[in-house]
Amino acid sequence: MILQDLLERSRTILAGRRLSPDVESDTLSLTFDGQTMDARPSDTVASALIAAGVMRFGSTPGTDEPYRGFCLVGRCAECLVTVDGQPAIMACRTMVRPGLRVDTQTGLGAWQMDGSE
Amino acid sequence: MNIAVVGGGPAGLTAAAQLSAAGLPVTLIDEWDSLGGSARYAHPRETWTGKVAALGQLGEASGMSVRTGTVAWGAFRVSGGIQLMLNQAGAASEITVDQVVLANGTTDVVQPVSGGTLAGVLTERALRILVNQHNVLPGSQIVIVGGSGSSRLAADIVRWQLAGVRITNVSLRILTAIEGVGEVKAVRLADGTAIPADTVVFAIGEAPDVQLAGMLGVPTVFDAKRQGWFVPDSHPAADVWVCGGALLGAAGIEQVLQSAVDVVAGITGEVAQ
């Protein structure tokens, strides 16, 4: 009985970094640097990236230090990414949406004007 | 008498809902799109979060004004009272009130350790947000620096260890550096040993956010042991009240809620006089 309980609990980690039991089954797709990535509707861009194993969100020029999730509450502003062409958006304060286009940026980034928006 | 409550977490919601239920005009301001503050990333087993949600409904039923997605970034004394400067998704506005209740919580304490800017270094709050709100465990070799919040994570830590995740707890005192190129690879200790790691969590405390209190001229005192600035008490000026983490720093939920109840009693007591 105890062994069974232990085995049950040892299955608590799902594939990837999503913990089980995973109550939310819905998924949506966004792109990260052009690659399709799954996310949950309740994800922020930061939690979706970390769930996909992406710890490094971008980089700063000069020292090449990473943008990354650190405080996840909008205080440190170290999780900057480019969202739908708009640079320097905090990944932790941005909810995912179907088809959201997320790109890494270097330094302050640049506006991506593709004429479609 | 107009009252603004800054922060819609357990303390702010309690204060706002009870003041509104007592018939006072209340505006509750919160920077996030949904109320709840730390209740949003409390462990699912925490039963008090239901009470906090019910408070939001009570407050709204009694007609309190709620402004979510709105940062109160400044507070100034003007002739008509206290002017709060607001930023709602880039749109500026301000409101003027007679009394302000600061319930804007805490920020995790961090130290600028060598390697602290690597990807994979998080605050303890960030870990709880990932685990409790998003069901994500950021790594499989996790080093937790310090012991704050450990009781809130204890049950989960055992579960993760059973699932093969390596969790090591180290004191800040014996941490020399976090090593890696771009991402965390190891934690170096004072005795020279290296612990392989993909995630490092700063769990060395949380300190009140006292910026608004400071802008209103409330004196703050640095507490060296808790590594943060604190306001002296819950009613540090005639028109300023403070409760929750903004007053207490790290505290249990009962203390947090009680501090809000105390502020409500103080305000309603003054109104009655």
Give B80-112 pLDDT, tens digit per residue: 999 999 999 899 999 999 999 999 999 999 999
| Cβ of residue B45 closer than 8 Å to a chain A Cβ | no
How far is Cα B177 from Cα B21, in angstroms, rounded to an integer? 52
The tokens describing A78, both together, are 């170290």
Question: Residue B157's pLDDT band (boundaries 50, 70, 90)?
Answer: confident
Please give the pLDDT value at position A34: 96
Please give the pLDDT value at position A61: 84
Please give the pLDDT value at position A2: 55
Inter-chain CB proximity A68 and B131 less than 8 Å: no
Residue B68: exposure state from Cβ atoms within 10 A (0-12, 13-18, ≥19): middle
Q: Which of B119, B138, B164 sits opposite A17 (nearest CB)?
A: B138
Distance from CA of A104 to the nearest CA of B (A): 14
Taking 60 as the threshold, does the pLDDT of residue A10 lie above it?
no
Distance from CA of B130 to the nearest CA of A (A): 6
What mean pLDDT is predicted for residues B101-124?
Answer: 96
User: Residue A39 has what DSSP assignment?
Assistant: E
Considering chain B, what percentage of its residues have pLDDT values greater than 90?
A: 82
Q: Which of A11, A56, A73 sits opposite B182 (nearest CB)?
A: A56
| Cβ of residue B159 closer than 8 Å to a chain A Cβ | yes
Between positions 208 and 267 of B, the ones with CB within 8 A of A are none
Inter-chain CB proximity A78 and B160 less than 8 Å: no
Taking 60 as the threshold, does the pLDDT of residue A116 lie above it?
no
Taking 50 as the threshold, does the pLDDT of residue A53 lie above it?
yes
Q: Which of B135, B138, B162 sits opposite A22 (nearest CB)?
A: B135
Please give the pLDDT value at position A55: 96
How far is Cα A102 from Cα A31, in angstroms, rounded to an integer? 6
Helix B10-21 to helix B253-272 angle (10° resolution) is 30
Q: Which of B40, B132, B135 is most worth mutating to test chain A (most A CB atoms within 10 A of its CB)?
A: B135
Taking 70 as the threshold, does the pLDDT of residue B40 lie above it?
yes
Q: Each residue of B252-273: b (16+ CB within 10 Å) or e?
A: ebeebbbbbebbbeebeeeeee
| Cβ of residue B183 closer than 8 Å to a chain A Cβ | yes
Please give the pLDDT value at position A115: 54
Please give the pLDDT value at position A14: 46
Question: Residue B59's pLDDT band (boundaries 50, 70, 90)?
Answer: confident
Give B181-235 pLDDT, tens digit per residue: 999 999 999 999 999 999 999 999 999 999 999 999 999 999 999 889 999 999 9
* Smallest CA–CA distance from A43 into chain B, residue: B134
Find the chain A residues whose C-beta atoms sit closer than 8 A to any C-beta of B. Answer: 6, 9-13, 17-19, 22-24, 40, 42-44, 47, 50-51, 55-57, 59, 64-75, 78, 95
Place of tokens 């005009």: B25
- Model ipTM over 0.90: yes
Inter-chain CB proximity A18 and B135 less than 8 Å: yes
Taking 70 as the threshold, does the pLDDT of residue B113 lie above it?
yes
The tokens describing B185, both together, are 């690879």
Residue B105 CB-half CA count within 13 A: 21
Coil, helix or strand for B110? coil
Taking 90 as the threshold, does the pLDDT of residue B46 lie above it?
no
Least confident of A44-48, A89-93, B61-65, B116-120: B61-65
Q: pTM of the entire structure?
A: 0.92
Segments of chain A assigned E as strands: 28-32, 35-39, 56-59, 66-68, 80-83, 86-90, 101-103
Please give the pLDDT value at position B153: 81
What mean pLDDT is predicted for residues A43-54?
Answer: 96
Inter-chain CB proximity B163 and A9 less than 8 Å: yes
Please give the pLDDT value at position A16: 62
Q: Which residues of B touch A75 (CB under 8 A)?
A: 107
* Smallest CA–CA distance from B125 into chain A, residue: A71
Question: Residue B47's pLDDT band (boundaries 50, 70, 90)?
Answer: confident
Distance from CA of A87 to the nearest CA of B (A): 15
Residue B58 is inside which H or E element, if any? helix B48-61
Q: Which residues of A touch B160 (CB under 8 A)?
A: 12-13
What mean pLDDT is predicted for residues B36-51?
Answer: 87
